[in-house]
Structures are given as structure tokens and as C-alpha cells.
């Protein structure tokens, strides 16, 4: 059966498994491993993921609609292959490392207490998103819509104000001083 409703999966190793074309609705995944799992055309709707590992999964046309990720680790995940029609994740206390978001429509996305490392956001709609207490390191924002996004409690971000749309976005000092780098000036 490819339809799964209100199921709980604990300590399941989906590593290198082919579970494409399945639908998961209102399901909970705890301590599961999705290492190189083939999730092509899988639909996750209103699901919760707790302490799960995602390492280089295949996400071609994967739907992630209204899904919450808590304490999860993402390594080498290419979210740009996901279905934009069904893409509305939220992340709390997650490690997002060497991942790619390109062309994702993810306005109002929540990144709470996340560590975002060596990740790219290219041509993404992140308007009205929140990055509360999240830490960035070598993360690139390029041609993103960041209007009304909130970075006031975020650390370590470097955002080029000339190639991203920032109208109404919120930042705080001293982190906002990173904008000076792009002005090619010296402040003493």
C-alpha cells in the first residue's frame, strides 16, 4: 500500500531504500535514517520528523507540505528538486549542512535554533521567513526575496544587499555590519 495515514515510524533505517511514489499524511518519523534514500515523487503532508538524518536523499518531485523537522540533520540535501507546489517545511534545532535551495518558494518558513553551514539559497522566495537564534556559516544568499524576513536573532549571516531583495527585512547589530563588506569601504 502506497498511502500511509497517521502512522508512526521509529528507528527505521530507510538508507538506500526505494520508497518512491508513496504518500505519507499526518505521519511521525522518529530517529529514522534517510541516507541515500530514493524519495522520488513521495508526498509528505502534515508530517513531523524528530531526530532524523537526511544524507544525500533523492528528492525529485518530492512534496514536503506543512512538515515540521525537529532536531534533524541534513547533509548534502538538494531541496531544489522538490515540488514547489508542495513545499512548506519548518525547521527547529536542525543542522543544515552543505545543502542547496534553488528556486524554492518557501515564504514564511521558520528556521528556529538551526545551524546552517555551507548552504546555498539561490532564487528562493524566503519573504516573511524567520531565522530566530539560527547560526550561519559560509552560507550564500543569491537573488533571493527576503522582504519582511526576520534575522534579528540570527548570527554569522552574510547577505549581499545588492543582489537580494531586503525591503522590510529585520536585522540587528552587530551582525548587520556584514552589509558593509559589499560596499567596499573601510570603517575605523
The pLDDT tens digits of the residues spanning 71-95 come to 999 999 999 999 988 899 999 999 9
Residue whose C-alpha cell reads 526576520 in the numeric block: 150
- pTM summary value: 0.93
Burial (CB count within 10 angstroms: exposed 0-12, middle 13-18, buried 19+), residue 163: exposed
pLDDT mean across residues, the chain:
95
- The answer to whether 66 touches 85, Cβ cutoff 8 Å, is no
Helix (H) and strand (E) counts in the chain: 0, 18
Residue 156, exposed/middle/buried by CB under 10 A (0-12, 13-18, 19+)? middle
180: left (phi over 0), alpha (psi -120 to 50) or beta: alpha
pLDDT over threshold 90, residue 107: yes
Phi, psi of 140 (to 5 degrees): -110, 130
DSSP annotation string for 11-43: S-B-TT-B-TT-EEES-EEES-EEET-B-TT-E
117-170: pLDDT as tens digits: 999 999 999 999 999 999 999 999 999 999 999 999 999 999 999 999 999 999
Amino acid at each position: 500500500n502506497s498511502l500511509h495515514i497517521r502512522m508512526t515510524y521509529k528507528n527505521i533505517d530507510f538508507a538506500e531504500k526505494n520508497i518512491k511514489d508513496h504518500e505519507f499524511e499526518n505521519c511521525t518519523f522518529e530517529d529514522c535514517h534517510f541516507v541515500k534514500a530514493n524519495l522520488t515523487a513521495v508526498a509528505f503532508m502534515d508530517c513531523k520528523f524528530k531526530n532524523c538524518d537526511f544524507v544525500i536523499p533523492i528528492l525529485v518531485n518530492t512534496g514536503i507540505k506543512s512538515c515540521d523537522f525537529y532536531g534533524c540533520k541534513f547533509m548534502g540535501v538538494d531541496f531544489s528538486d522538490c515540488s514547489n507546489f508542495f513545499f512548506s517545511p519548518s525547521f527547529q534545532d536542525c543542522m543544515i549542512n552543505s545543502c542547496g535551495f534553488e528556486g524554492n518558494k518557501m515564504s514564511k518558513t521558520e528556521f528556529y535554533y538551526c545551524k546552517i553551514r555551507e548552504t546555498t539559497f539561490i532564487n528562493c522566495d524566503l519573504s516573511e521567513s524567520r531565522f530566530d537564534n539560527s547560526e550561519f556559516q559560509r552560507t550564500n544568499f543569491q537573488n533571493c526575496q527576503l522582504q519582511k524576513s526576520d534575522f534579528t536573532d540570527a548570527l554569522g549571516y552574510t547577505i549581499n544587499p545588492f543582489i537580494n531583495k531586503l525591503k522590510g527585512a529585520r536585522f540587528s547589530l552587530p551582525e548587520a555590519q556584514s552589509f558593509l563588506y559589499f560596499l567596499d569601504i573601510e570603517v575605523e
